[in-house]
Structure 1
Amino acid sequence: MNKLAQTTDRPVLWEELTWEEIAALRESGRDLVILPIGATEQHSLHLPVGVDTFSVMAVAEGVSAMTGFPVLPPLAYGVSLGHTSKWPGTISLRPETLSAIVLEIAEWIVNAGFSRLVILNGHYTNWAPLRCGLENIRHRYPLLKIALRSLWEISSNINELYQQDAANFHANCAETSVMMAVRPDLVQSEKAKDEPDRSSHCFFSYTVADESVYGGVGKPSDATTQFGRRLLDACIETLSQQLKKALVEKTPLETMPPSVPMT
């Protein structure tokens, strides 16, 4: 069976396709590619170090199944320097490394003939280096349309759900709930430790080691599978609709040309 035809029940994974199928996908008009980026870092006592990668892949694959847009192999390493070496398990890139990696990936997406790249981020402190990477990509490849979205930024409602127990959340109710929905076998709920957002009153930025005893921020004890499924469904459905519109999006000047010529 042609893997490209299965766009409503399973994701289209780049690594499962032949070069011929990738070319056919591009020629079909689905020339938008999703790049999921997670992290490998400690997530308190009750969650595995791959939380951010599992979460972003669950959303990316769900969106792909709904839209037919291909998902690139995930990058499981992010910028996690703030987690320090206090807790073993974290493996971090430097910010400049992550920026360089996405630029090099973009080069090959352009070479393959795709014109739209969506960087889907699952880890909070990846955002700044990814934004720098976006600037470099936009400068190097001006015809490539590129967007950066973090899971909690897909909509204001989703943002509220992620942050309902902590603005500076980590291994909190939302992240724990998503993992309960995606990989319940990896969640050790009996070990969950609630910790307040101790940095909410601070002016300066501190590492997780300076603000958390066990490595988490928020109330994982409130987590449920139902909430995790609700959050995942909201991310997948909302982003799918956004990307379908983005596939035919024009530049601002093409959409609203100036009424008076510039002189």
Structure 2
Amino acid sequence: MRERGMEMVILPVGATEQHGLHLPVGVDTFSAIAVAHGVSARTGIPVLPALPYGCSLGHSKKWAGTISLRPETLAKLILEIAEWVCSAGFTRLLLLNGHVTNWAPLRCGLENVRHTYPDLRIALRSIWEITPKIHEFYHQDAANFHANCAETSVMLALRPDLVQIEKAKDEPDRSASCFFAYTVNKESVHGAVGTPSQADLEFGQQILETCITELSTQLNQALVEATPLEEMPP
């Protein structure tokens, strides 16, 4: 791949976390992998094996199925993976995040990577932040979304065999007016937020297709992106 000129790799980062009564614990990993491989098929950018564990401390230990890393552990994993990405000759790395509370540790990892490996260009994107439209898809029924209509719809498109929609319980976003940050067991009865009962296969397909199409466009540009100073006229 390097000999053919490919300089970038994608690292999907998910989580192992309870998602209400109706979804599997690998939702965030399934979605990150699906978008990464969809983008790879269109751009030729290779995908590294996904990290299936993330920072899920905020989901609490109330519901079985959640396994969490400490934020500093996740940040260190990114730095150590980057070492081997660099040694293989790649110069561009995308961290494709599928889990909300991974963002801060991944951003810390990004800071460490660009300090330690200044020639490696690194970016962090969460799948629901690829474009404003995708953000709208994910947040339409809850700002603090989790196992909601969007995530359930995506799983209906990816792994319907793992969705037990008859068990879905709608819950309001009780954190919306709060000043402090609370763990999910203090906000949700069943470990879900939003309206998963309204999930729809076609909506899930629309979310995935939009994520893949928009991110592919962005990455085709990123493959040849120069630094801002490199782009200045002489």
Aligned residues: 234
Q: Match of 1:51? A: 27
Q: Match of 1:39? A: 15
Q: Quick check: 1:205 aligned with 2:168? A: no
- Distance (Å, rounded) in 1 between the aligned partners of 2:58 and 2:23: 18
Match of 1:137, SS? helix
Q: Quick check: 1:29 aligned with 2:5? A: yes
Q: Superposition pairs for residues 118-157 of structure 1, below 5 Å?
A: 118-157=94-133
Q: Quick check: 1:168 aligned with 2:144? A: yes
Q: Match of 2:166? A: 190
Q: Quick check: 1:99 aligned with 2:75? A: yes
- Distance (Å, rounded) in 1 between the aligned partners of 2:230 and 2:83: 26
- Distance (Å, rounded) in 2 between the aligned partners of 1:191 and 1:256: 57
Q: Quick check: 1:113 aligned with 2:81? A: no
Q: What amino acid is aligned across from residue 49 of structure 1 in structure 2?
A: V
Gaps of 5+ in 1: 1-24
Q: Quick check: 1:68 aligned with 2:50? A: no
Deviation at 1:256, TM superposition (A): 3.0
Deviation at 1:29, TM superposition (A): 1.5
Structure number with greater CO (CA < 8 Å, separation at least 6) is: 2
Match of 1:71, SS? coil
Gaps of 5+ in 2: none
Q: Match of 1:89? A: 65
- Distance (Å, rounded) in 2 between the aligned partners of 1:153 and 1:27: 33
- Worse overlay, 144-153 or 248-257: 248-257
Q: Per-residue CA shift, 1:72-94, capped at 9, x if unaligned?
A: 00000000001111001100000
Large movers: runs of 4+ above 6 Å: none
Identity among equivalent pairs (%): 71
Q: What amino acid is aligned across from residue 132 of structure 1 in structure 2?
A: C
Deviation at 1:26, TM superposition (A): 1.2
Q: Match of 1:6? A: none
- Distance (Å, rounded) in 2 between the aligned partners of 1:153 and 1:255: 26
Q: What amino acid is aligned across from residue 31 of structure 2 in structure 1?
A: S
With the length of structure 2 as denominator, give the TM-score of the two structures: 0.99
Q: Per-residue CA shift, 1:3-26, capped at 9, x if unaligned?
A: xxxxxxxxxxxxxxxxxxxxxx01
Deviation at 1:222, TM superposition (A): 1.1
Q: Match of 1:224? A: 200
